[in-house]
Amino acid sequence: MDKIEMMRAFVAVAQDNSFTAAGRRLGLSTKLVSKYVQQLESQLRTQLFNRTTRSVSLTDVGAAYLEHCRPILEQLDDLDSLVQERQGALAGLIRLTAPTGFGSTRLCEALAPFLRDHPDVELDMRLTDNRLALVEEGLDLAIRIGALKDSSLRARKLADMPLVLCASPDYLDRHGRPKDPRALSTHVCLVDNNQSEMNVWRFHSGGKEQVLRLTGNVRSNSPGALARMAMGGLGITIAPLYAIEDALVDGRLEHVLPEHATDAFGVYALYPPNRHLTRRVRALIDYLAAEFGSRWKADTISPGKQV
């Protein structure tokens, strides 16, 4: 039995704390994954996992073995990539994570042409609104939106993501169109509680900043959910442009206070600092920078403009 395949099965189980999930990740049956791990334990003459009917966890020896397993498998993958890339075409696996809403919409749209142009590239995309640890999860790349927290990861900014104050025309017809940010205190506000300052909205006009502290009637950690509630006429929200650009074009949402600029988020590619970036990962980062950097500009927010 191939020692490398045993090690890959072991690392996958350690990442997911599950033989079943590891099988899905590797495209193998749970039974075969379990067989690989058992064979590895037999060869090493030690127990790598504590197993119960409800959980799987690493033993102390297993944790130490995992720490040394990962770089070995990464080096083998890099060697394979080097051979493939010397042949000219991009090939091999890219393990990527991204926020659920952005990843399932704009990121997927952007990735489709890249994957069509490079059919030998494989993609393992994990969409979650939790910030996964790249090294521990065996990931090559993370796409993140918003302020970056202190991190040992390297980051490349792909684009600025405008934040747009918006509401449905129906809501604005019923409650009036505010002429100044201070008038928002009389409106129903839909607040994104992902923000570090959840109830703070900032506006910029004529070189001056207005900071509003609001009591949001509705809060959510999903910009897409807030956008849909705004489309339903429930109130005014500030949303990243990717979540509402189609609704601005077709008139389901209206840009409120367009003469007052709001803040923008950064869209970033993050990757481990101590891992060699394969040519396929570098190519994907360059591609996304070109794709996203040209897409979201201030003039794309105009009502009725194709975005």
With bands split at pLDDT 50, 70 and 90, how would you rate the model's confidence at 67? confident
Residue 16, pLDDT score: 85
What span, in angstroms and rounded, lies between the C-alpha atoms of 200 and 202? Answer: 7
Residue 133, pLDDT score: 82
Q: Given 1.10.3720.10, 3.40.50.1100, 3.40.50.720, 3.40.190.290, which CATH number is that of 162-264?
A: 3.40.190.290
Find the mean pLDDT for residues 155-175.
Answer: 93
Q: Where in the chain is the domain with CATH 3.40.190.290?
A: 162-264
Determine what percent of the chain is predicted with pLDDT higher than 90.
49
Determine what percent of the chain is predicted with pLDDT higher than 70.
90
User: β-pairing, 121-127 with 200-205?
Assistant: unpaired
What span, in angstroms and rounded, lies between the C-alpha atoms of 10 and 57? Answer: 11
Asked if 6 contacts 33 with a C-beta cutoff of 8 angstroms, the reply is no
Q: Strand (E) positions, the chain?
A: 49-51, 56-58, 92-98, 121-127, 141-145, 154-167, 189-192, 200-205, 208-213, 218-220, 236-240, 254-255, 264-271
Fold of 92-159+266-298: D-Maltodextrin-Binding Protein; domain 2 (3.40.190)
Find the mean pLDDT for residues 29-33.
Answer: 92
Q: Where in the chain is the domain with CATH 1.10.10.10?
A: 3-76
With bands split at pLDDT 50, 70 and 90, how would you rate the model's confidence at 87? low
Token representation of residue 200: 């703070």
Nearest-5° angle of CA 245, CA 94, CA 29? 110
Instruction: State pTM to two decimals.
Output: 0.70
With bands split at pLDDT 50, 70 and 90, how would you rate the model's confidence at 254? very high
Q: Cα-atom radius of gyration of the chain, to the nearest Å?
A: 24
Find the mean pLDDT for residues 251-273.
Answer: 90
Residue 86, pLDDT score: 61
Compare 247 and 26 and report the one with higher pLDDT. 247
With a cut of 50, say whether residue 305 has pLDDT above it.
no
Asked if 248 contacts 303 with a C-beta cutoff of 8 angstroms, the reply is yes
Find the mean pLDDT for residues 198-205.
Answer: 82
CATH number at 3-76: 1.10.10.10
Q: Where in the chain is the domain with CATH 3.40.190.10?
A: 92-159+266-298
Task: Indicate the range of 36-50, 245-259, 272-286 predicted with least confidence.
Answer: 272-286
With a cut of 70, say whether residue 150 has pLDDT above it.
no
Task: Indicate the range of 42-51, 144-153, 244-253, 293-302 predicted with least confidence.
Answer: 293-302
pLDDT in tens, 3-26: 888 999 999 899 888 999 899 888
Supply the mean pLDDT for the chain.
86
With a cut of 60, say whether residue 180 has pLDDT above it.
yes
| Distance spanning both ends of the chain, measured CA to CA | 53
What span, in angstroms and rounded, lies between the C-alpha atoms of 44 and 54? Answer: 25
Residue 70, pLDDT score: 83
